[in-house]
Amino acid sequence: MAKSPQTVLEVAGREVAITNPDKVFFPQAGHTKLDLVKYYAAVADGALRGISARPIVLKRYVNGAESEPFFQKRAPDQHPDWIETVELAFPSGRTAREIVVRDAAQLLWIVNLGCIDLNPHPVRADDLEHPDELRVDLDPGPGTSWDAIRRVALIVRDVLTEHQLRGWPKTSGSRGMHVYVRIERRWSFDQVRRATLALAREVERRAPELATSKWWKEERHGVFLDYNQNAKDRTVASAWSVRPTPDARVSMPLEWDEVAGCDPATFTLVTAPARLAERGDASAAIDAAPGSLDRLLELSAAQEAAGRRAVAAALQEAERRAAARGAVAPEERARHRKREPREDRERPAPVDPAAHHGGQGATQGGRARGPRTLEGAPPGGRGAPAGGRRPRRLDARPLVDVDADPGELAACPRERARRRGGARPRLRSLARCRPGAARVAGAEDALQLVGRCDLQLIVAAVPWLLVRAPAHELRGVA
């Protein structure tokens, strides 16, 4: 078998072999794999600042930027002795030895594997349980303008400053922006995530028309502050990373006074080395003064207390309405009831077995066969045969909802689908879910509810109404 062509580069006192150097990685821009490697060699000082001493997930584009990548947590079995690894444990109970990059030779070695962008963890290899980086990911929704993203980034800066933290902005290299904050290594992943959520809610409070902290996509608008990027095992493309875009854009660190007028399209694999040489790295001082999360965690506690007060108010309102409803005389409720009494309802005609079994009577094969319909289904509905069609098992309507009146017909699947987004089903799902796997219901949902049954649902859901991680965060990915 013919040996693949390769080029050997001497970097950081080591020789690094680059295989298939002429392979085109960016077809539209015409950049090759060797061009990508030379870019990272030119900006190594800046790139290493974002990934040095951190375990890194390998996101490999072996066939270039337009191909589908695959994520590789574990270091390849075949690697040089000078490649460092560290073992990480995941919530699933599995472990993996991931690569730790400390110098330019190690950096180019992983780029040769097909890594276009660099995806480090927010922890250092010597302390894997306490992040030293809080990450604010500004993710624009459909139709959101670049100007809106920049305005939200400036509000993030203001909130951080008021809470004695310094933010370091950068373009994401894709559609959004990132703001990184160096922090002391004193807090857990959960605490860092809670602090970021508090920040996101405060930004949303100040600019509700521009920003959102809502987790569910159907509830979002404008710029989503993705606080969940601070969950354990999450990684984000670091500063100076090339992104897999047609023009090979770069995630570029910025000064705050550049944010209002920056254009992300100007930062590419071609232009970024010149900017670094002329202006230096805008995030060069990021490690100089790590900050404290105490003020943001105080804000988080205040927000949670406000949430508990809202739930308590909702419970009181539900109790008041339930008491008012219970005070109405039974005869008054009966007078206003618009449906007929259960015993007076018209029942569907029974199915004639002979009409459906070729005159064989009510038995086939020694087994009695009777009508397959459900009492209470209206004539001509799914419970009654149409046009001589043989009734089927699914012709019966579904059972009544758990909190519906026993005398009321069950809603059809289409009607249930229409109701699915309402407050009652959302709180019922909360009452059934495990901790952390529940969708957070807002106080406005609780206020919609009345009645004893609704009150029970609220009480069952209260323990999980406040800050909880989404279900997918609790499932470890190994």
Residue pLDDT, tens place only, 63-100: 999 999 999 999 999 999 999 999 999 878 889 999 99
The CATH number covering residue 197 comes to 3.30.70.3300
Domain tally, the chain: 3
Residues 21, 7: contact at Cβ < 8 Å?
yes
How far is 281 from 196, CA to CA, in rounded Å? 25
Is position 82 within any domain? yes
Is position 94 within any domain? yes
Is position 402 within any domain? no
> 25 exposed, middle or buried (CB, 10 Å; 0-12, 13-18, 19+)?
buried
Same domain (yes/no): 281, 140: yes
Is position 385 within any domain? no
Same domain (yes/no): 42, 60: yes
Same domain (yes/no): 450, 315: yes
- With tokens 């069950």, the residue in question is 410
Same domain (yes/no): 288, 312: no
Same domain (yes/no): 189, 276: yes
Same domain (yes/no): 311, 267: no
Is position 437 within any domain? yes
Q: What angle do CA 89, 197, 177 make, to 5 degrees?
A: 90
Is position 193 within any domain? yes
Is position 372 within any domain? no
Same domain (yes/no): 275, 312: no
The residue among 276, 293, 310 that closes a domain is 293
Same domain (yes/no): 151, 221: yes
Same domain (yes/no): 423, 304: yes
Residues 39, 272: contact at Cβ < 8 Å?
yes
Same domain (yes/no): 169, 82: no
Closest CA to 132 of 282, 259, 242, 288: 288
Is position 452 within any domain? yes
Closest CA to 269 of 34, 11, 10: 34
How far is 86 from 102, CA to CA, in rounded Å? 13
Quote the tokens at residue 356.
């459906």
Domain that holds residue 473: 294-325+415-478
Whether the pTM exceeds 0.75: the reply is no
Per-residue pLDDT of the chain (478 residues; tens, 9 = 90+): 556 789 999 999 999 999 999 999 999 999 999 999 999 999 999 999 999 999 999 999 999 999 999 999 999 999 999 999 999 998 788 899 999 999 999 999 999 999 999 999 999 999 999 999 999 999 999 999 999 999 999 999 999 999 999 999 999 998 899 999 999 999 999 999 999 999 999 999 999 999 999 988 888 999 999 999 999 989 999 999 999 999 999 999 999 999 999 999 999 999 999 999 999 999 999 999 899 999 999 999 999 999 999 999 999 998 888 888 776 556 665 665 555 555 555 566 665 555 554 544 444 444 444 444 444 444 444 444 444 455 444 444 443 333 344 444 444 444 444 444 554 455 455 545 444 444 444 444 444 444 444 444 455 555 444 444 444 444 444 4
Quote the tokens at residue 9.
């580069």
Same domain (yes/no): 180, 320: no
The CATH number covering residue 74 comes to 3.90.920.10
Residue pLDDT, tens place only, 11-38: 999 999 999 999 999 999 999 999 999 9
The residue among 120, 155, 171 that closes a domain is 120
Question: Which amino acid, 402?
Answer: V
Same domain (yes/no): 99, 171: no
The residue among 252, 270, 293 that closes a domain is 293
> 207 exposed, middle or buried (CB, 10 Å; 0-12, 13-18, 19+)?
middle
